Structure 1
Amino acid sequence: MYVKVKEKAMDKSEPKSFWSNIILLFRFIAGIDKKIFIWLGISVCISALIPFPYILLSRKVIDSFANGADYSATVKIIVIMAVSGWLIKTMNQFINTELDKKVKRLEYEAIQRLFYKMSVLDYVLLDDADTKDKFGKATKCVMALNFYELILSVRTFFSSILILLGVLGIIASVDVWLLIIVSFVIVVNAYANSRLKKYRYKIDNELWPIDRQMEWYMQFSANIEYAKEIRVNQLQKFIFDKYRKLSDTYYKLLDQITNSEGAVKHIGLFLSMLQENMAYLVLGYKILVEKTLTVGDFTMTFSAIASFKDACSGIIDGVIEVLNRGRYFSKYLEFMDLEGNSSKGDVPVTINPVQGAEIEFSHVSFRYPNQKEYALKDINVKLSPFTRVAVIGDNGAGKTTFIKLLCRLYEPDEGIISLNGKDIRTYDYKEYQKILAVVFQDYKLFSFSVRENILFSNEGKIKDEEIYGKAKLLGADSIISKLPEGLDTLLFKDYDVSGVNLSGGEGQKIAILRALFKQSEIMILDEPTAALDPDAEKKIYEGFEMLTRGKTAIYISHRLASARYCDVILVFKDGRLCEQGSHEELIGMDGEYKRLYRIQADYYAD
């Protein structure tokens, strides 16, 4: 069953207006830390006071000088202006520092939520290109300071409104034409910047997929797993040419943005020059012709005009930034609201250790998302408790898909998979995962210590003697013993040069050991011995047989050696279960199993 994003989540996270962004942001903040609103409110009010001591008191200082007033009185005004300005700026700095701490903690919480969301997202969504694109944009929201700058833009917007209201009366009282001139310039600038921001966002959407591909090239070029292929096959020029082609397209798009920004800056410079000269003409006429303004009035008015311009710019920039960065924030919310149709269930999983786990596939069919052909078609099989099962077949026969459905990584399009008579989709998802211990063909070990890789959250609960005891049965004890720090040796060099790399066979044994310590009722091994030599393979199966007594064990393998250790063999071909039975029964049927068995027997005989 293909997992889709719920429409409700999409609508909720696609704000189309400035205030929609503000409301969504405030709701998000309220859900994490309501105290931020207090700091934000104080910051807005304090920062709005900053220009007013100079605007209001500079007139008195200039007029005192011009009129020959008492020097001591003038000094007092200067001291009051300096002290009040210093106090306001000091308070503003303190408040903003505290607000920055709160916002960064909020951003950190948003990053943690994003990380957790990615780790619990439905498996089917992880292989979807649209999901990867959303994750990239959501990451940019919180990792590239977009989230941080979004909140600061909101602060700028509201503080600029308060400043605007304060200086509006000052400018209007001097001359209405001044207000009209400044407003005209601001509106034209706002329109030009608004168009630029929209154009930039459009180009950004074209840059995203290219950027993701370039990042992939950069990562795999330094990945040791690709290094052998690149060098042996002399792929350097082939890969570099592909990267250079992407890079050329990327920087051509960036040039378009740069050219547009340059044009808008030229418009801004011309309008700013026009505004200043018009203001000089109006104020000069008031002073020299009408004689209605003093030099102090001139200074105060020009300061008010500058603050008015800054406030209008702050409001406009705030709106544009909230709209622009709000788009990234909406992508963050959109990703966080992703929900699949996979059933999570609520029925507790209880397996009686005496009765065990009975697994049944009833008329199960499945197609991968966006695929026409069925990967599995009408699968019917019942596996009794404590059974050892071998799943075999050619590449693409459906073996691994069979296991993925059992693990609830995907859901069947048709039919039912049941555990002890109940549809597995009805069981609580987390509890269901606890009864499965799986070693996938493309298993992964992590850049943790060997002990952490084996035990994970059970670290500290299991003694070393028990780890070495089970490791010995698998032939893994010698691997651990030869490591520099034994169980505490760090694997891989991803973030520590002292890390140790294991061979494919060594890593596979550690992965199998990890599955055993999960102590689950159902053990699944997908190609568990693919990287092992025949002697190691034999020891693994013999040890695993002993260690999985009282459990259901399922082996997927191309090698038919595993079949000799199993009670039941399932043979897949072209997405269908074509045969099932014991080794002796299937050999006697002269069918697909016997064909595969003879091919391998002849190969080893030769």
Structure 2
Amino acid sequence: MISKLRSANIIFSHLLRTLSLVWSASRYWTLVWMVLLFVQGLLPAASISLTPWAVNALVHVTGSGISTASIQKILLPVGLIAGIMLVGELLSSAAEWIRTAQSELVGDYITNLIQKQSVAVDYGFYEYSEYNDKLNRAREGASGRSLALLESTGGLLQNGVTLLAMAAVLLPYGLWLPTILVISAFPAFYVLIYLNKVQYQWSQRTTTDRRWLMYYDYLLTNSAMAAEIRLFDSANHFRSSYRNLRRRLRHEQLKLLRDQTIGRFVAAIIALTISGIALVWMGRQVLLGILTLGDLALFFQAFRQGQGIVKDILGNLGQIYRNSLFIGNLFDFLKIQPKIVDPPNPVPVPLKPKQAICFRQVTFSYPSNEEAVLENFNLTIPSGKIVAIVGDNGAGKSTLIKLLCRFYDPDSGSIELDGVDLRDFSVKELRRLITVLFQSPTSYYTTAGQNIALGDVSAASNQAEIEAAAQASGIHEKILRLPLGYNTMLGKLFPDGTDLSGGQWQRLALARAFFRRAQIIILDEPTSAMDPWAENDWLERFRSLASDRTAIVITHRFTLAMQADIIHVMRAGQIVESGSHNELLNLNGLYAQSWRDQMEAGSSTKIENSLI
């Protein structure tokens, strides 16, 4: 009993939140919709109440021939019934138009909520499979479920008004008739509630499976995967995986549908049996002369429609139950609270760092991994210097970027900027101080100029500054050779797009990072996709680009590391060597060994493969 009450409270809570959500999205349309529901609810009973008048009038004039008097006797009741039917059609058309308007507004409103929440949650949430399940469930028909819940509620209100009116029509024939009318629909209601619960549980259980289907489809249809799929001939493997999983889910879904069909059929048989009993009783009353043919016509219409309305009401309740379960996924997603938040009283972020960035006894492990990536880690990065961090894969270099950007906070220890813990700053203001070229930068399918301007969307798109950033990264000349220069659409996703090479996309991302004009520059493998000629061209300008700003460069390339004022060698989450290029060579440690290997190999390829 307690669990049922709890479920009822949850459903009622979801219903109230959904109504509030719909009201926020389309309040004026919702007001008109509610008025229409009430009027539409009264029309069926009004039409049926005129039935005895029309039928009895027809019986009275039967056999009297066609005359003005005969037509006058039946014209008014028939005309009123026709008028009610016409108004009903008009209101139905108006309601369809209103529902469409509501659908568009509510759909846009919910999409905006999901997008806003997706950006607001911590970066770390994306590394949880459970989070991706929640996101998928929230996005999966969220606006449709909200509108379905609204329509079910509206249907319940409209049918409730109609049922009360029908009960008033049937009540003179006996109190037991409205009662049996309601009882006849309960089997269908029970079947609906039970099967909706089973359907919801199946949907929750198979969320990850359905995400696998999306992933297989992405592999087979996305341009980024096209080359490898063809070269390694793996299409059949992924198609087979898709088909096998889809076959299992389809069989489970068809089994659910079979159970629903059988349950509804049995419930319909019960309802028809009860209807038959009521009709036999009514026919007996007519044969005994207690009731007229008009009464029989009224009863038949009222009882049949009333039974359908009760069924619809219970169906509305079932749909409310079902949709409230699914809409709960949206509300669960919107309840996720980020952990990386502003402090109650943020300290102003320095316009220009003057001292250093300091990692003090920092220990950190990713939420999905108990093993610490950094443990009691210490590092000082002086302001205004170029600092290179080199090391083998998995040493924790990229983790430093995520911590500096406050995508994560340390498990213990602190990261300080000019002596102030990063957690004491506003998150947004701290990030505005930083510009980053990530190891796998995003390729935006917009114009070349817009690609660069995305580095600082809060700034005016000054063409001179865009071109200056492009020149700094070495992509300016390439952009000028494009069909429309800086107005050229990039990528092949949209019409008239022009694609770039990997190195050119990387230079464009560098330009985007430089356009931000932030005081702290973080570059993660900034030349990894460049050929040696392009890299040398860029390195010639690198020190002037970073002049008077703090630059942190994560790299595997000696040619870039040599440009730094300080080089830190990182291994297994710790700094093991520090110094300038020459100092590290004299130290004769890991860095020097990698350098000697490169010198002996005499190739830049060896540099990348042997460094640390």
Asked if these proteins are the same fold (TM beyond 0.5), I'd say yes
293, 296, 315: which one pairs with 2:294? 296
Structure 1 residue runs of 5 or longer lacking an equivalent are: 1-12
8 A Cα contact 2:56 2:294, kept in partner? yes
Looking at structure 2, the residues matched to 364 and 464 of structure 1 have their Cα atoms a distance apart, in angstroms, of 42
8 A Cα contact 2:472 2:511, kept in partner? no
Aligned-residue offset at 1:198: 1.0
| Range moving further from structure 2, 154-163 or 593-602 | 593-602
Tell me the residue number matched to 1:126.
126
Looking at structure 1, the residues matched to 421 and 52 of structure 2 have their Cα atoms a distance apart, in angstroms, of 82
Tell me the residue number matched to 1:179.
178
Given the alignment of the two structures, is residue 39 of structure 1 paired with residue 39 of structure 2, yes or no?
Answer: no
Given the alignment of the two structures, is residue 443 of structure 1 paired with residue 436 of structure 2, yes or no?
Answer: no
Pick closer, same or farther for the CA change 1:269–1:350 going to 2, 3 Å: closer
Q: Deviations over 1:33-57 (max 9, x none)?
A: 5435522421221120220232011
| Range moving further from structure 2, 50-59 or 409-418 | 50-59
Aligned-residue offset at 1:531: 0.8
Q: The residue matched to 1:50 in structure 2 has which SS?
A: helix
Pick closer, same or farther for the CA change 1:512–1:91 going to 2, 3 Å: same
Aligned-residue offset at 1:481: 1.5
Q: Deviations over 1:128-160 (max 9, x none)?
A: 1111111111112335x2222111111001111
8 A Cα contact 1:357 1:521, kept in partner? no
Q: The residue matched to 2:497 in structure 1 has which SS?
A: coil
Given the alignment of the two structures, is residue 79 of structure 1 paired with residue 72 of structure 2, yes or no?
Answer: no
Looking at structure 2, the residues matched to 597 and 569 of structure 1 have their Cα atoms a distance apart, in angstroms, of 13
Given the alignment of the two structures, is residue 510 of structure 1 paired with residue 503 of structure 2, yes or no?
Answer: no
Pick closer, same or farther for the CA change 1:357–1:485 going to 2, 3 Å: farther
Looking at structure 2, the residues matched to 66 and 365 of structure 1 have their Cα atoms a distance apart, in angstroms, of 93
Amino acid aligned to 1:590: N
Aligned-residue offset at 1:64: 0.8
Looking at structure 2, the residues matched to 194 and 52 of structure 1 have their Cα atoms a distance apart, in angstroms, of 28
Aligned-residue offset at 1:177: 4.3
Looking at structure 2, the residues matched to 314 and 18 of structure 1 have their Cα atoms a distance apart, in angstroms, of 19
Aligned-residue offset at 1:603: 3.0
Pick closer, same or farther for the CA change 1:440–1:14 going to 2, 3 Å: farther
Aligned-residue offset at 1:598: 2.4
Tell me the residue number matched to 1:431.
429
8 A Cα contact 2:465 2:515, kept in partner? no
Looking at structure 2, the residues matched to 71 and 265 of structure 1 have their Cα atoms a distance apart, in angstroms, of 45
Looking at structure 2, the residues matched to 596 and 401 of structure 1 have their Cα atoms a distance apart, in angstroms, of 23
Aligned-residue offset at 1:405: 0.7
Given the alignment of the two structures, is residue 333 of structure 1 paired with residue 331 of structure 2, yes or no?
Answer: yes
Pick closer, same or farther for the CA change 1:105–1:258 going to 2, 3 Å: same
8 A Cα contact 2:14 2:324, kept in partner? yes
Pick closer, same or farther for the CA change 1:440–1:262 going to 2, 3 Å: same
Amino acid aligned to 1:146: R
Amino acid aligned to 2:246: S
Given the alignment of the two structures, is residue 67 of structure 1 paired with residue 60 of structure 2, yes or no?
Answer: yes
Normalised by the length of structure 1, the TM-score is 0.92
Looking at structure 2, the residues matched to 139 and 357 of structure 1 have their Cα atoms a distance apart, in angstroms, of 46
Looking at structure 1, the residues matched to 332 and 395 of structure 2 have their Cα atoms a distance apart, in angstroms, of 37
Tell me the residue number matched to 2:609.
none
Looking at structure 2, the residues matched to 413 and 125 of structure 1 have their Cα atoms a distance apart, in angstroms, of 16
Looking at structure 1, the residues matched to 26 and 111 of structure 2 have their Cα atoms a distance apart, in angstroms, of 15
Aligned-residue offset at 1:535: 2.0
Pick closer, same or farther for the CA change 1:460–1:417 going to 2, 3 Å: closer
586, 589, 594: which one pairs with 1:588? 586
Aligned-residue offset at 1:19: 2.3
8 A Cα contact 1:476 1:509, kept in partner? yes
Describe how 1:60-459 pairs up with structure 2 within 5 A. 60-68=53-61, 70-143=70-143, 145-289=144-288, 291-345=289-343, 346-347=345-346, 349-353=348-352, 356=354, 358-456=356-454, 458=457
Q: The residue matched to 2:290 in structure 1 has which SS?
A: coil
Looking at structure 1, the residues matched to 71 and 461 of structure 2 have their Cα atoms a distance apart, in angstroms, of 84
Amino acid aligned to 1:50: L
Higher relative contact order (CA 8 A, sep 6+): 1
Aligned-residue offset at 1:387: 0.8
Given the alignment of the two structures, is residue 572 of structure 1 paired with residue 570 of structure 2, yes or no?
Answer: yes
Structure 2 residue runs of 5 or longer lacking an equivalent are: 1-5, 63-69, 607-612
Amino acid aligned to 2:285: K
Looking at structure 2, the residues matched to 337 and 438 of structure 1 have their Cα atoms a distance apart, in angstroms, of 30
Q: Deviations over 1:553-576 (max 9, x none)?
A: 111011122221111111110111
Looking at structure 2, the residues matched to 479 and 357 of structure 1 have their Cα atoms a distance apart, in angstroms, of 38
8 A Cα contact 1:21 1:322, kept in partner? no
Q: Deviations over 1:460-492 (max 9, x none)?
A: 934434433443343212220121111111122
Amino acid aligned to 1:166: A
Looking at structure 2, the residues matched to 400 and 351 of structure 1 have their Cα atoms a distance apart, in angstroms, of 24
8 A Cα contact 1:178 1:282, kept in partner? no
Amino acid aligned to 2:191: A
Tell me the residue number matched to 1:10.
none
6, 19, 40: which one pairs with 2:12? 19
8 A Cα contact 1:14 1:330, kept in partner? no
Pick closer, same or farther for the CA change 1:191–1:450 going to 2, 3 Å: same
Pick closer, same or farther for the CA change 1:91–1:240 going to 2, 3 Å: closer
Looking at structure 1, the residues matched to 103 and 531 of structure 2 have their Cα atoms a distance apart, in angstroms, of 56
Tell me the residue number matched to 2:544.
546
8 A Cα contact 1:441 1:526, kept in partner? yes
Looking at structure 1, the residues matched to 26 and 272 of structure 2 have their Cα atoms a distance apart, in angstroms, of 45
8 A Cα contact 2:519 2:549, kept in partner? yes
Looking at structure 1, the residues matched to 548 and 342 of structure 2 have their Cα atoms a distance apart, in angstroms, of 28
Aligned-residue offset at 1:99: 4.7
Looking at structure 1, the residues matched to 379 and 7 of structure 2 have their Cα atoms a distance apart, in angstroms, of 46
Q: The residue matched to 1:555 in structure 2 has which SS?
A: strand
Amino acid aligned to 2:368: N
Normalised by the length of structure 2, the TM-score is 0.91
| Range moving further from structure 2, 187-196 or 276-285 | 276-285
Pick closer, same or farther for the CA change 1:408–1:18 going to 2, 3 Å: closer
Looking at structure 1, the residues matched to 419 and 188 of structure 2 have their Cα atoms a distance apart, in angstroms, of 70
Tell me the residue number matched to 1:483.
482
Looking at structure 1, the residues matched to 457 and 189 of structure 2 have their Cα atoms a distance apart, in angstroms, of 59
| Range moving further from structure 2, 66-75 or 518-527 | 66-75
Looking at structure 1, the residues matched to 179 and 287 of structure 2 have their Cα atoms a distance apart, in angstroms, of 22
Amino acid aligned to 1:195: Y
Aligned-residue offset at 1:510: 0.2
